[in-house]
Every structure is written in structure tokens, then in C-alpha cells.
Chains A and B, each alone.
Chain A
Amino acid sequence: MSVLVEKADLSLRYTGHYNEVKDLLMQNSADIINAGRKKALQDFVLQGIPTRVNENYKYTNLQPHFYPDFKFIHLREPAEVDLNAVFRCDVPQLDTYLAFIFNGWYYEKNHQTINLPDNVILSGLEEISFERPEYLEKYGRLADTATDPLVALNTAFAKDGYFLYVPKNTVLEKPIQIINFLQSEKDAFVTQRNFIYIEEGADVKIINCDHTLNLNKYLNNSVTEIFIGPNASFEYYALQNQHNNTTSLNSVFIHQQKDTKVTTLNSSLHGGLIRNNLNIILDGENSSANLFGMAFIDRSQHVDNFTRVIHAKPHCQSNQIYKTVLDDNSTGAFSGRIHVMRDAQKTNAFQRSNNLLLSDKAIMQAKPQLIIDADDVKCSHGATIGQIDEEALFYIRSRGIEEKQARLMLMNAFAHEVIQQIKVIPLRNRIDELVEKRLKGEVARCHECAYNCES
């Protein structure tokens, strides 16, 4: 019984904290953000912090990660961008519109440097919610608080994050790069809420980089809602590179209207616990969604990729490829669901998860699912968990390449299937290089990381 009480206590700690700061949150936020808080908290109370009992979190127990005595950041704190830190995220020859986020707060000085084309708005969510609330009409429409406790918790505490609006037929020549920094003097609980609205015919690429700047424990709970107008094209790259004491919980919701094209790519190079929830609704004909993901984990890291693709309209396509390489005591999970709704005929939906286990202590768990309620469809999923193909290895070795080198080549090839999907060439080259270094063991630690965290 005592365990049960403790678990309830942990959720209570967060609801209790909400009640303490409720007035503070309400007073300092716009109505549109405040509107959902109450219901969100109720939904969180009903669900609690997810444990393995929650089917959607079967392979990721979050309880221990909510346990530390976190500091909450409910008001903007002054922050200064450290150029050295920026340099670490630098991708050579990659020209981007660069914006920073500190502990979930949109960096105020971004406005001075960013130079986006006219009418494109990149701003803080808080700022927009006060100044142009009409843009946030659909806030909270996608991120359902009743089915996911993390979304509920995020909605209850939501303050800031980034807001992007791209008007009709605007093609952004350069990608927008958002760099998320976690830097606090104490262990911190960070809530980030993002909102992206892309109008008809626009073409946008976003690169998201996550970084930690010191060794404190962080829990970053972010929710991003993305609305894609007809005939628009959208690419979303996420690079996760954080230290081993970080818990990174990302929920991304994408709503696609007709004739849209979306590509997402999650590259988890380093992190303590990473959970990527990706929900895509294909809600218009002739749309396509491509979901890619890869993770390289070792020590006691944990990466859980969780996707939901809903085909609500006919003539849509979706394709998912997720790859994980696991070493040491690391654990990985992949849960993917394709749901073809009634009447969403002529759907093509594919999903694949390939996983390599390099150690006997690593554990991989996969849960690919198909829910098909229409008949004229082609759907498939495949999952494999295993090792490098011995025959391929033999083939390479028979050509005079030593085993270690051969293994590297094969692992590289394994990852490359995902990497080659990156359309931003400098970024692809950079990730290629990072992955190769990672596999060689040269960057077993965070890339060029000053902190040699050994936990």
C-alpha cells in the first residue's frame, strides 16, 4: 500500500503546486492560455503521472523522473545567450533564421536578429497571446488533455514557447532553427508550449535543437501544435542532444489539410530519457506524411518513440521508418499506430522499425499497431530486433576489410536510411558526421561537450 500512497503523493505534489501558483499563472497570462488550464488539471488528476499501467506508457515509467525536487519557472527570468553554447550547435554552411529558447521561454532578443520575410511571425507564445490572440484561435484543439497526462500537465502550466505564423504562399528560403537551452541554477521543471500555423501553399522547414548547458537535472515537458493549410509543405527536424540527467518529453501534434506534405525526423543522439510523442492527422485528401526517427543510445539511456498516424480522409499516404541502435544497459521502445478511419479508402500506410542490439543488457521493445476500418487500403508494418547481418559482414570481410571496420560500415548504412531523408543538405552532412563519430565511439559523450557526465 505504501507504494500506492507514494505514487498518489507524487501526482499530488504537482497538483498541489498548481494550486499554489494558480493565481500567479492566471494573472500573468492571456485569457486564451488560461481557458484550458482548469480542465487540463482535472484531466491530469484523473490520469496521474504515467506508469507502466498506462498502456501508452507501458515501456516508459516516468514516476522516478518526476521525483526530484524541481524548481518551476513560472515567470520570465533574465537570460543571456552564451555564444560558445551557440557555437556548439553550429552546423557548417547551414544558413538559418536562428531563434533561442531558454528553459521554455522565448528569448527576447531574438527579435533583433532574426530578419524573417515580411508577414511571417516568429514570436513568443506569451507575447502573441496578449497582442494578437486571434492567431491562437485553435490553441489546444489538437493537444487533447483527456488522453495524455503529460499534455494535461503542460496545458495546466503553459506560459511560453515559440509561435510561428507563415502566411499564404510564402516560401521560406532558409530553415528556421530553434535552439532550446536548458540552464538553471537548480534542477528545473520546464514547460514549453509551441504553436505553429502554416497557411495555404506555404513551404517551411524547422530545425529544433535541444541542449543542456549544465549538469543539473531537467525535466522538459513540451507540447507543439502544428496546423498545416492546404497545399503547404512542412519539414520538421528535431536533434536531441542532452545530458544523461535530462528527461525530455515531447508531444507534437500535426493536423494536415488536403494536398499537404509533411516530413518529420527525430534524431536522438544523446539524452537521459527521451519520449517523443508524435500525433499526425491526415485530414484532407492527397496528403502525405513521412515520419523518420533514429536513436543511438548507450549506458542507461532510454528512448521511446511513440507515433500515432490517423488517416481520416481517402487518398493519403504515410510512411514511417524508425531505427534504434542500443548499447550497454540502454532501453528503447517504439510504439506506432496507424489508424485508418472508415471511408478513408485508397490509403497507403507503411511503418517499419528496425533495431540493433549491441549488448546483452540492452532491451528493445516494440509495439507496432494497425487499426484498419476501411477495406481498399494497403497497410503494413514490420519490426525487427536483432544484430548486424552476419552474411553481409562476411561479404565485406571477404573483401579484405577488417571486422571492426566492416561492422562500422554496416551500422552506418543502417542509420543512413534515415539520415538520407534529411533534405537540408548541410544538416544531413553534419548528422552523418555526428553519427559516424558516435558509432566510432569518438563522441560517446555529447558532441563536443565540456561536461563529462558519467551517470
Chain B
Amino acid sequence: MLDIQTIRKDFPILDQQVNGYPLVYLDNAATSQKPVQVIDAVANYYRQDNANVHRGVHLLSQRATDAYEGARSKVRGFLNANSDKEIVFVRGATEAINLIAQSFVRPNIKAGDEIVISHMEHHANIVPWQMLCEQTGAILKIIPMTTVGELDLSTIDELLNERTKILAVGHVSNALGTINPIKELIRKAHAKGIPVLIDGAQAVPHMVVDVQQLDCDFYVLSGHKMFAPTGIGALYGKQELLAAMPPWQGGGDMILSVSFEHTQYNELPYKFEAGTPNIAGAIGMGVAIDYMQNLGIANLAQHEHDLLVAATEKVTALEGVRIIGTAKQKASVLSFMIEGVHPHDVGTIFDQQGVAIRTGHHCAQPVMQFFGIAATARASFAFYNTMEEVDALIDSIKKVQELFA
């Protein structure tokens, strides 16, 4: 059993008043808050260990390198990857998807080939593929969605075919909270020899992920959504695939030797980490992983599930509120519409009660178009949220309804 009040003390930002009310932070799918352990790790790195990695013979450089590579090992453990060589530090899930599009798919794709994504993707898992299609004449194919917000797999056997060069799909939808059946999708794709990228940005804060058990070829994540700093994320890729890929960006650290005639690229994973990396961010991400694992990710998931179930029941009981996305398997996210009130107005009124939610299209405009709406209001939970905060959410909805009655 988690002691949420004690956990909340680790998150100094939560202890503040907003517009005269205690802050109720329910915008975790946009970005999560950071525990003091992560904040201190970043600050202490700059106070004590700051130096460039992989090059100095001096002590600070050694300490920085050890901490940075230590963080890589933690990410490997977190995803249960086979080797540290399979973990590439990137800016976030967006950069990782662009990297795979340009370095893995682009060299092997031609006009008329196909890329399969789903109707549920956020823009980060749509636009890089559209850009690749423009560059190569390939065609983007979309797995459709049902009205409850689940993937419609009735046509999947035709969608995945001999022209398909990659299947790229989100593990958890940021706009709807749907947990997609990725294991089944990976199995189906692999049966036809199609590689699979899983966008795990919304999944890793909420569940245990095992890339070997999933057997995905690539898995991408953003640190800032899992209690780590912004500007750091990770790409997992199967070693033999990463090894065969050309580099993504050129520069220092990604080379073994450089002359004007010839440059020899570095080994994995450094081949994909040109330039001085976000060392402090990586260290912070490692500490965020420690933090989650110390509490037990399964425990965190159970508490969040309880919050989501309670919030869903209470919102469902209200007149004039419609939940967008009612899949059987969901994590963290409750998207809703209050009848007769634009989500933007909802967001402002919530904020005046100290309740922070996201309103808008959640960078998933095709999802909004599917439901025939421009925007939703979205509450998204993390493990530090409480049942009292669920009640604050419900009170704020009632306040909106009163004001717009």
C-alpha cells in the first residue's frame, strides 16, 4: 500500500496555492512533476561532477561519464533490454521517431511502399512518417478506430502486407488513455516480417514495460513524462537493427576517427549520439527510474487505476458530461466534454479553482476529427494524485455547469 501523503512530500511543486486554491495537478499526460531526488541529482551533477563525457582523462570527466553511462544501464533495466548498446539517449520520443524514420526506414523504402500507423497517434507519430512519405513517395496507411476509442483490427491483415516497411503505433493514447494490444500487433507484423516501433511516451509512467517480452524492434520514450527532466528521452532498438543503420546526425562523440578522406563511425550506441549529450537530463532520468522502481511500478499502476476508475464513475454519474474514450483497457487519461461549454472555457474555470488540466486537441487532431470535436478537456493522473483531487475535479465540473447554466 502506497503512502501517498509521504510520496507527495517528495514533489515540492505540488505544495502551492494556485488562484487561492491548493494546486490540483491533473495534466500529467502533458508533463509530469519531478521528485526532489531528481531535482537534486541534476543540481548536484552541476555542483560537483559537471564535465564532458567520454573524452577527458581527468576525474570529473570520469565521474560524469560513469553517471551518464550508469543512467543508460538504468534505462536498459527499466525496459528489460538485453544490452546497454540498445539504449540511445535522445531528446525525447519525438526525436527517436524521427531518427527511426530517417535512419532505419528511409534507406529501405521506395515509392509505393507503405507505412502503417493508427488513427489514435499523436502528431509525433504522424508527422515524421508524413515527411518520409513526401521524401520517398511512400504511402501512409491508418489502422482505424472504433467509437469507444479502441483500435479496429478488422482490416489489420490487409493493412499489414508485403509493401509495409514499418508499423509504428502508440502503446497508450495520450488523448484517450487507451492501452493498445501491442503484443498482438507485434506478433501479427512479425509474422509478415514487418518491423515494429512502439511509442511508449504515455505508457512508461504507468506500467512495467519489457521490450524482450514484447519483442518490439524499437521502443521510444520521453523522460519528462516519467518524472525526469525535459529534453531527455530514450530509443530502444534491437542491437542488430541499430548496428545496420547509418548514423542520424554527424558530429563529435559519434565517431572513432575522422580525416577529410574518411570518417569511421563509433560503435553502438554512440553512433547515434552526436555532440555533447544532455548529461544532467540522462542522470535525472536514471534517478526517476530508481524512484519509480523503489515504490514499485505495479503499486503505482494500481493506485492510478483506482483513481481513474473512481473519476470515471463519478464523471459518468454527472448529467451533461460525456467521456471521450471508453476503451476497456485504459491508463491515466480521462478526456471529457461538458455539454454546451467549450473545453477552453472549462480549462480557465478549472484553473480558477486551482485544478490544472489540459484543454485542446492534445496534439492528436485526427483523434478529435474522428469524434467530430475540435478539442476536449483532459484530466490525466499520476501516482501522486489523490482521491480528494478526483473530488476537486468533480467539483470543478459542477462549477462550470453552474456558471454556464
Q: Do A and B come together as binding partners? A: no
